[in-house]
Amino acid sequence: THLLKIGFSRKTGIFDKQLSNIIKSAFSLRIESDYEDFYVIAKADVENQVEETDIFYQAISEYLHENSG
């Protein structure tokens, strides 16, 4: 996660703060699901993660397209 924190830090200004929040949310869910004995996620939470993943993917794809040689 260190590289993610550097790349999505508000200090760099490369990416919108929303992307940092998406990463934090996904990572938090991952930690909970990996380390809890029994973890159930609500359908609405899954749908939200899918929507946020799409936003994240589109932003990163756009950045890579604009900044690739």
Query: Could you tell me the two tokens for 65?
Result: 């397209």
pLDDT of residue 56: 92
Contact 4, 23 (CB under 8 A): yes
Distance, CA of 59 to CA of 35 (rounded, Å): 30
Q: Residue 31 pLDDT > 50, yes or no?
A: yes
Average pLDDT score over the chain? 83
Give the integer Cα–Cα distance in Å for 34 and 7: 24
pTM of the predicted structure, to 2 decimals: 0.73
- Better-predicted residue by pLDDT, 39 or 3: 39
- Residue 64 one-letter amino acid: L
